C-alpha cells in the first residue's frame, strides 16, 4: 500500500567544524572538532519561528560550504602557499557537521557544497539512478545487438559508477541512518564478510563520526 513520505523538520543548534587527524597509536584517521559555530535562532528558523523542512534545511546546510572552504584554507595555509593541489587536499580533510540542541547529527557538509542528511538519499544520485533505469541503460542491449561494443561498454561503465555510488550511499544510510543496522547485518545483507565490507567502505573515507 503506497503512501506519502512524512515531512521531516530540522532545527539546527550548532555547527561543528571538523578536521581529520591521525591517531598514531592505532595508525588510523578520525574526525576531531576544531571549532564550533552557534546557530542564531533567526538563521535557523523560518516562517515566523517554525522548523526547517528538508528542502530549506538542505539549502541552509549547503550555504555553509563557502565558510568551510575559508576555514580549510586558514588552518592549512593554502591561501599563502597558493598551490591548487594543497588547497584541494585541505578541502578533503575538513567537514562541517550541523547538530541539533541534543547533539544529534543533522547534516554532513563538505567544501564542494555536497550535503549528506542521515536517512535522506542524495537527490542528485536519486535522479541519476532513476535516469539510468528508465533511460539510457536499457539501450545498452540494442548497442550490443548492433555490435556497437564501444558504446555498450561506455554505458556499462557509466552504470557501474552509478550503482557503486548508490551502493555506498545505501550502506551509509543503513549503518549510520536514523535506525542504524549493525555492521555485521549490513555485511550479511550484501552476502560478504564484515572484513570485506570494511575494505570496501571504511577506507579511505569511512571515518568515524
Over residues 9-66, the pLDDT tens digits come to 788 899 999 998 877 776 677 888 999 999 876 555 555 555 788 888 889 999 999 9
Whether residue 165 contacts residue 125, with contact meaning beta carbons closer than 8 Å, is answered with yes
Does residue 176 carry a pLDDT above 90?
no
Could you give the residue ranges of the DSSP H alpha helices within 28-148?
Answer: 41-44, 54-62, 65-76, 78-81, 84-92, 123-131, 139-145
Pairing state between β 94-99 and 52-53: unpaired
Model confidence band, residue 178 (pLDDT cutoffs 50, 70, 90): low
Does residue 81 carry a pLDDT above 80?
no
Spatial CA neighbour of 95 closest among 145, 127, 56, 61: 61
Does residue 1 carry a pLDDT above 50?
no
Amino acid 205: pLDDT: 46
Model confidence band, residue 75 (pLDDT cutoffs 50, 70, 90): confident
Whether residue 160 contacts residue 172, with contact meaning beta carbons closer than 8 Å, is answered with no
Spatial CA neighbour of 120 closest among 4, 2, 7: 7
- Per DSSP, the three-state class of 181 is coil
Q: What is the pLDDT of residues 121-154, one digit of tens each?
A: 777 888 889 999 988 888 999 999 999 999 999 9
> Mean pLDDT score of the chain, rounded to an integer?
80
Q: Using N-to-C axis directions, what is the helix angle for 149-176 and 194-201, rounded to 10°?
A: 110
Question: Average pLDDT in the 72-94 region?
Answer: 68
Does residue 79 carry a pLDDT above 50?
no
Amino acid at each position: 500500500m503506497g503512501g506519502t513520505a512524512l515531512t521531516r523538520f530540522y532545527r539546527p543548534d550548532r555547527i561543528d567544524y571538523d578536521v581529520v587527524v591521525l591517531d598514531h597509536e592505532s595508525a588510523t584517521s578520525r574526525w576531531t572538532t576544531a571549532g564550533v559555530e552557534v546557530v542564531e535562532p533567526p538563521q535557523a528558523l523560518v516562517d515566523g519561528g517554525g522548523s526547517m523542512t528538508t528542502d530549506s534545511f538542505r539549502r541552509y546546510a549547503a550555504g555553509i560550504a563557502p565558510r568551510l572552504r575559508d576555514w580549510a584554507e586558514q588552518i592549512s595555509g593554502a591561501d599563502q602557499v597558493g598551490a591548487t593541489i594543497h588547497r584541494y587536499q585541505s578541502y578533503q580533510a575538513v567537514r562541517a557537521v550541523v547538530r541539533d540542541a541534543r547533539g544529534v547529527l543533522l547534516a554532513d557538509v563538505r567544501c564542494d557544497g555536497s550535503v549528506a542528511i542521515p536517512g535522506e538519499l542524495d537527490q542528485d544520485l536519486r535522479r541519476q539512478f532513476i535516469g539510468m533505469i528508465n533511460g539510457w541503460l536499457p539501450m545498452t542491449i540494442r548497442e550490443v545487438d548492433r555490435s556497437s561494443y564501444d558504446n555498450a561498454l561506455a554505458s556499462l561503465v557509466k552504470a557501474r559508477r552509478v550503482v557503486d555510488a548508490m551502493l555506498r550511499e545505501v550502506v551509509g544510510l543503513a549503518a549510520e541512518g536514523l535506525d542504524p543496522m549493525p555492521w555485521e547485518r549490513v555485511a550479511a545483507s550484501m552476502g560478504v564478510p564484515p572484513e570485506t565490507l570494511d575494505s570496501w567502505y571504511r577506507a579511505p573515507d569511512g571515518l568515524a563520526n
